[in-house]
Amino acid sequence: EVHLVESGGGSVQAGGSLRLSCAASGFPFDDYAISWFRQVPGKEREGVACVSTSDGSTDYAGSVKGRFTAYSENAKKTAYLEMNSLKPEDTAVYYCAKHMVLSHCKWWRATYEHDYWGQGIQVTVSS
């Protein structure tokens, strides 16, 4: 059974940093890209970042490029989202998700390209 479990969220002041973790189990971790999404009430889930677990390549939404870093430690079957220079507009529930078929970050911004999701974790950035 596939499981994705996020950890590392919390509250931080603007300019601060957090690192989210996504521990995976139940599938060959090296074979599927892991994406990060976020959602605020009343808005659609937004793709934030993606990491290819096969070659380490990444892609980012423009709003976080240069501030967020996605990477994975395959031996631990864990993906990470390092978030620096956080802004109040980064406040959201963050989700990691397994890409349905691809090991690289293509079409990763579409929620329907992902078949398993973590439970979500709150990140709150205060001004």
pLDDT value of position 102: 87
- What percent of the chain is predicted at pLDDT more than 70? 100
Helices (H) and strands (E) in the chain, counts: 0, 11
Give the whole-angstrom CA distance, residue 8 versus residue 17.
11
Q: What is the pLDDT of residue 106?
A: 86
Q: How far apart are CA 100 and CA 97, in angstroms?
A: 9
* pLDDT single digits (tens) 93-119: 999 999 999 889 988 999 999 999 999
Q: What is the tens place of the pLDDT at every residue in 67-81?
A: 999 999 999 999 999
Under the banding of pLDDT at 50, 70 and 90, the label for residue 45 is very high
3-state secondary structure of 115: strand
R_g of the chain, CA atoms, integer Å: 13
Spatial distance between the Cα atoms of 90 and 84, rounded to a whole number of angstroms: 11
Per the listing, tokens 């996605």 go with 70
Q: Would you say 3 and 25 are in contact if contact means Cβ atoms under 8 Å apart?
A: yes
Mean pLDDT of 34-43: 97
Taking the CA of residue 56 as centre, how many other CA atoms within 13 Å lie in the half-sphere pointing to its CB? 2
